[in-house]
A and B are shown apart, each in its own frame.
Chain A
């Protein structure tokens, strides 16, 4: 029982620690901060998000996001601030824009194409 409690504590410590390091006066901002950190890529260790990374640059960027959230900036404003500096690459999810239409819509086009081919075959038989 004691061991389970310890494991639980260890699992929780991540969030608790984050809240102790980056205190907010309301839960909404805490949630916004946590949410943003998961969407943002650490540019030094590229497959980690900012939340998980302890690279010096990731810590700087985390502090920057903290400051902006504290100032009451919206998600959009914060993301615009960061992409102006680091480009879309800092986002794990690429934004929908003319350069990424193929990326976003090609799967649906292929799905429709496959469906059309299937229909053609079925109808012929």
Chain B
């Protein structure tokens, strides 16, 4: 009797377990790759300021206050949706450092004059080497770096007001 009972309900349980895993699988986003740079030091680099090839900025100069390193490019169509909200963030006191990724000086300058410049400082990574060191695989990407120079958060995708309020604001405030 007991054994028959188990055999009768077993398929239902197996079915429910499968539904659970498939359902979970549907909600996973394969485009969301976790960063392997979290809680590590910002990789060392030395990059020119955009438009001034002669002034090199070293990554050590960025250490001292929490910054949001924002990877953008003029060829990235999604990036054009961001500057308006990013300017709000700048006014709210977020130190935004732009990393102009695999772009040319002319295109980037034109793009900034079209959409506005929300950054305190823009570094030019024309070859994308710093991008590789950071594990950048698509623009826009945002890295939160604390005042000790440790990467605390990586967000892939455009920063909108919703994204900021729901995902990023609390993490940014923790850095203060």
* A87/B138 contact (C-beta < 8 A), A46-B30, A60-B128, A64-B132 known: no
Interface residues of B in 92-141 (CB under 8 A from A): 102, 128, 131-135, 137-138
Task: Determine the chain B residues whose CB is within 8 A of the CB of A64 once the complex forms.
Answer: 132
SS class, residues of chain A in contact with chain B: helix
Cβ of A78 within 8 Å of any chain B Cβ, yes or no, is no
Residue of A nearest to B30 (CB): A46
State the CA gap A61–B136 with chains docked (Å): 11
- Total number of B residues with any Cβ neighbor in A under 8 Å: 16
B17 → A minimal CB distance (Å): 13
A57 touches B35 (CB 8 A): no
A60 touches B35 (CB 8 A): no
B134 touches A85 (CB 8 A): yes
16 additional contacts (CB under 8 A) given A60-B132, A87-B135: A43-B33, A43-B137, A44-B137, A56-B102, A56-B128, A57-B128, A60-B128, A85-B37, A85-B135, A86-B33, A86-B36, A86-B137, A87-B33, A87-B34, A87-B36, A88-B36
Q: What are some 6 contacts across the A-B interface (CB < 8 A)?
A: A57-B137, A86-B135, A86-B137, A87-B34, A87-B36, A89-B33
